[in-house]
Amino acid sequence: MGKILLRGRVCYMKTKTIKIKLPSWVEPFFKGAREFYTTLEDRMDFVIELSRKNIEHDSGGPFAAAVFNSKDGSLIAVGVNMVTSCGLSIAHAEIIALMQAQSVLKSFDLGAPGLPCCELVSSTAPCAMCLGAVPWSGVASLVCGARDEDARAVGFDEGSKRRDWVKELEIRDIAVTCDVLRSKAAAVLREYVGKGGIVYNGGLQTRK
């Protein structure tokens, strides 16, 4: 059995059940959502508000995402950045929203027959990890607010992405729309940093 020396103490390693619960303020926000978000701007506006609430409640970074039924704009699932609050580096808004949608629709493939046509709406263009997660999720489309460069401008690292990432998704039949309410989305990133929010980037600044 594995054991390691951790801060001077011998610790025995064990397997864990990982539990990922949205911050408590999300449930009432989710329940208060409208029945339909007809336009892409409506959907993005909802997601930007979610990202702003995540700052207000100090529950994570300034990023939010949601999965909508693209046909009628009904809301299926939401996610916010929870890296610091749940202690998992993978807990980006898009990953959380996709897990929530798959859990509620009971399918690891959101493109499976009989399911609504799923659209991922993200307040900022996805980082390299979340971008890689998009094709596996089965969503049919991706909608982005702020650009990579807006996130980088305030110090966030988007990871190593191909320049032609939009085209790479489109080759896989995933429609991409960028710059939806971009300046409003980017303003939330600046607001977060302006308030002194932590710009963590995984191991990048702590590792030698």
Rounded CA separation 180/157 (Å)? 21
**Distance between CA 195 and CA 202 in Å, rounded?**
21
- Annotated catalytic residue within 56, 94, 158, 191: 94
Of 92, 64, 106, nearest to 157 by C-alpha is 92
Q: Does 95 bind its own copies (CB under 8 A)?
A: yes
Over the window 7 to 46, marking each residue x when it contacts its own copies by CB under 8 A and - when it does not, the resulting string is x-----xxxxxxxxxx---xx--xxxx-x-----------
Q: How far is CA 47 from the centre of its chain?
A: 10
Q: At closest approach, how far in Å is the CB of 48 from its own copies?
A: 18
Backbone φ, ψ for residue 145 (5° rounding): -95, -95
How far apart are the C-alpha atoms of 56 and 22, rounded to whole Å? 15
| In the complex, least distance from residue 61 CB atom to its own copies, rounded to whole angstroms | 11
Active site residue 149: no
Q: Does 111 bind its own copies (CB under 8 A)?
A: yes
Please, which residues have CB within 8 angstroms of residue 85's CB and are 6 or more apart in sequence? 23, 59, 60, 91
Judged by CB under 8 A, which stretch of 51-59, 145-153, 154-162, 181-189 contacts its own copies? 154-162
Candidate list 49, 57, 69, 179; residue touching its own copies; CB under 8 A: 69
With CB under 8 A as the contact rule, which of the stretches 106-114, 146-154, 180-188, 191-199 interacts with its own copies?
A: 106-114
Q: Contacting its own copies (CB under 8 A), which of 147, 165, 176, 199? A: 165
Q: Considering the complex, what minimum distance in angstroms separates the CB of residue 128 from its own copies?
A: 3
185, 51 contact by CB (below 8 A): yes
Q: Please identify every residue annotated as catalytic.
A: 94
